A and B are shown apart, each in its own frame.
Chain A
């Protein structure tokens, strides 16, 4: 919980480097949690992961944004966060000064958070670190719905989320997940899209076995 002391730096004889991820803050000689969630530990990195409805931008996150407006040099993108993100118009694959992506209001984009800090608007990009598109860019058609940030991270995590695995065996669909709590689904038949969306939304608190049963039931009902 916020305020809990996670680590006492003074008590440990340290020559090691400890990296603090999101949700933690250093208060002189203590490491304190500033978010509610589960403390995770991997190699020399500590971080707190919780599930919220609102997204707090953090660097290197893959997010789904909705274009609000276009300014001279960038698009204003809504990320379900306290501030709008800024997406430079040239940060798309194959974009040049003469070939600027024509994104109007309400267009959906899949992008990456390049820089995020509490004092600035997050900077986004639809290119990966090496300058290639690799899946980022506008998402055309399809269906967009919102979920909690925790569910979004599970959908993206390894091992593969059970619902996605089960659905993938019987149905054909495209899916994009943003850690800002947005999921985009596209398939040929509207019925398939609805089924996939329902399965994902309802699976949040279920165990793996329960999720498989859920998918079975939905597929049965669809026939």
Chain B
């Protein structure tokens, strides 16, 4: 149950006492007092029934929705750009259901592709450039890329195009070569019936 108060707060503004309130998102506690750390609307959230702490929580929420940014633990949709011996690079396209406005790069390391037999993973048999994958952000990684993981059943390649469907300049292929998942290890091309290895995601419909 959230009570909405229509007053705009600015960073550094005193919101209340720590003895009366809990500091939620967008606020912090200092010297027994709660101050705002964002520009936004103050929200008051009642304490949960049955919890020890009866203090309501103060939250500051921005007015405008910020652009989607990957965070640790979020599920992202990415497109593989490069496959190397021990890792694969991908461009993060969506965070959850929202498309990103600027490009983020992610890396799937060999040990994060799947849960079992992680030292025998062959990157080239798990992903190919151009594949669309669903992955989870493990950490913010280094300055160049987020660290992604596909080590769950529902993570992995969601959509891929087969070798036969790759555009060739002198062949006119009008049929789509988007592959169909056969197992968690293989996908099959509808044009040539050839199977290609991938780490396939188990998409629950």
Residue positions of A touching B, CB distance < 8 A: 2-3, 25-28, 32, 34, 74, 86, 115, 117, 119-121, 123
Within 8 A of A (CB), among B162-199: 164, 168, 170-171, 173, 175, 191-192, 194
Given contacts A119-B128, A120-B123, 14 further A-B contacts (CB under 8 A): A2-B170, A27-B164, A27-B168, A27-B171, A28-B164, A28-B175, A28-B191, A28-B192, A32-B171, A74-B85, A119-B124, A119-B129, A120-B83, A123-B85
B84 at interface (Cβ–Cβ under 8 A)? yes
Q: How many A-B residue pairs have CB under 8 A?
A: 35
Q: Is the CB of A120 within 8 A of B84?
A: yes
Within 8 A of A (CB), among B146-173: 164, 168, 170-171, 173
CA distance A159 to B191 in the complex (A): 40
Q: Is the CB of B164 within 8 A of A86?
A: no
- Nearest A residue (CB) for B170: A3
Within 8 A of A (CB), among B99-154: 123-124, 128-129
For residue A117, which residues in chain B have a CB less than 8 angstroms away from its CB? 124
Q: Is the CB of B85 within 8 A of A26?
A: no
For residue B192, which residues in chain A have a CB less than 8 angstroms away from its CB? 26, 28
Q: Is the CB of A25 within 8 A of B85?
A: no
- Nearest A residue (CB) for B194: A26
CA distance A32 to B170 in the complex (A): 10
- Nearest B residue (CB) for A26: B192
- Nearest B residue (CB) for A88: B85
CA distance A187 to B175 in the complex (A): 58
Q: Number of B residues whose C-beta is below 8 Å from A? A: 16
B197 smallest CB distance to A (angstroms): 11
Within 8 A of A (CB), among B27-75: none
- Nearest B residue (CB) for A30: B171
- Nearest A residue (CB) for B80: A119
Q: Is the CB of B164 within 8 A of A26?
A: yes
A-B pairs, 5 with minimum CB distance? A3-B170, A28-B191, A26-B192, A27-B171, A119-B129
Please pick, from B124, B164, B194, the residue contacting A120 in the complex, using a CB distance under 8 A: B124
- Nearest B residue (CB) for A32: B171
- Nearest A residue (CB) for B128: A119
Q: Is the CB of B84 within 8 A of A28?
A: no
Q: Is the CB of A119 within 8 A of B175?
A: no
- Nearest A residue (CB) for B175: A28
CA distance A32 to B168 in the complex (A): 11
Q: Is the CB of B129 within 8 A of A25?
A: no
- Nearest B residue (CB) for A86: B85
B168 smallest CB distance to A (angstroms): 7
- Nearest A residue (CB) for B189: A26
CA distance A41 to B149 in the complex (A): 45
Q: Is the CB of B171 within 8 A of A119?
A: no
CA distance A168 to B192 in the complex (A): 49
Given contacts A119-B83, A121-B84, contact A27 B173 (CB under 8 A): yes
Please pick, from A2, A32, A115, the residue contacting B124 in the complex, using a CB distance under 8 A: A115
B189 smallest CB distance to A (angstroms): 9
CA distance A25 to B191 in the complex (A): 13
CA distance A115 to B168 in the complex (A): 23
B137 smallest CB distance to A (angstroms): 24
B138 smallest CB distance to A (angstroms): 22
A27 smallest CB distance to B (angstroms): 5
